[in-house]
Amino acid sequence: MLRYLMSIIVLVGFMSFVQAETYQTHRLVEDGIHDPENDAIKILQEPVEAMVDFPLDRRGKVNWVDAIRSGKITPRKSLSGDEFGGEMMLEMDMDVILKQTANMPNVRFPHLAHTEWLTCNNCHPDIFIPQLEANNITMDKIFKGEFCGRCHDKVAFALFTCERCHSVPHESSSEIWIKDLDK
Ligand code: HEC
Ligand code: HEC
Ligand code: HEC
């Protein structure tokens, strides 16, 4: 009996481990976006199946930057998919280091990881004046949905993964971030 119980505990433990490895998401009929009455729902692929082997971040959400770099996804370059049909994205590899971060590591803003999905005018000049340190960004405003918070925590990775933005330690940034980054 004890052995039987033990194997159930081990099995349940193993199952939750396996589950933690796959992206958790709603089925299409219950996601609140798709019409469960519409027949088309039967031909659409379930997200959990489509994203079964997608790279995840430490919180178990899809890491979309790794997904694009590893070729798991290849987003269209314009709204219509036709090179000349819409505004084309222009990839630009330029990092900006934002240093008003108090004891947190500085923020590396990578233009490349953004311009793989967005055009310059998605951000400039409405969200950010394209000039170094011209925007007076604070964490408080970000949490209220301004600046980076226009997308992060909504369509881009959550604000809880501080280290993905605060990735450049400096002299007075707390030890824990430096240790984490050494791993
Ligand atoms: C996701 C938003 C976003 C997108 C898209 C974006 N940028 Fe930026 N850009 C920023 C941020 C944030 C800064 C830093 C502003 C600051 O320091 O306050 C910046 C800064 C700049 C700067 C000033 C750099 C400096 O050293 O003074 C230029 C120039 C610029 N961007 C051009 C572009 C161009 C060209 C594109 C399209 C190829 C583009 N940006 C796309 C967010 C974006
Ligand atoms: C999407 C990117 C992003 C994430 C995620 C993020 N931050 Fe920030 N943080 C920023 C930017 C940008 C600034 C302003 C830097 C500048 O203007 O020089 C900032 C500034 C700060 C500051 C400086 C003081 C202030 O209030 O503005 C602190 C402290 C801070 N962040 C803490 C955190 C903590 C803690 C987390 C995780 C819970 C976090 N941040 C997650 C982008 C981010
Ligand atoms: C217009 C929407 C938008 C804005 C505004 C925006 N981001 Fe992003 N960001 C994205 C998208 C989309 C991605 C790629 C998808 C993802 O990683 O979730 C991304 C990815 C990133 C990455 C790449 C992480 C990696 O693993 O390489 C960093 C770092 C980042 N953003 C920081 C910032 C910071 C800092 C700001 C504000 C200064 C900001 N973002 C503003 C949409 C935005």
pLDDT, one tens digit per residue, over 152-162 is 999 999 999 99
152 lines ligand 3 (CB under 6 A): yes
pTM of the predicted protein model: 0.88
Domain ranges of the chain: 1-53, 55-182
Radius of gyration of the chain, Cα coordinates, nearest whole angstrom: 21
Ligand 2 atom with least separation from CA of 100? 18
At the top level of CATH, which class does the domain 55-182 belong to? alpha beta
159 lines ligand 1 (CB under 6 A): no
- pLDDT 10s per residue in the chain (183 long)? 556 555 544 444 444 444 444 566 788 999 888 999 999 898 999 988 989 999 999 888 899 999 999 999 988 777 777 766 566 778 999 999 999 999 999 999 999 999 998 889 999 999 999 999 999 999 999 999 999 999 999 999 999 999 999 999 998 887 777 665 554
CA distance 102 to 113: 25
Find all residues with CB under 8 Å of 10, minimum gap 6, and list them: none
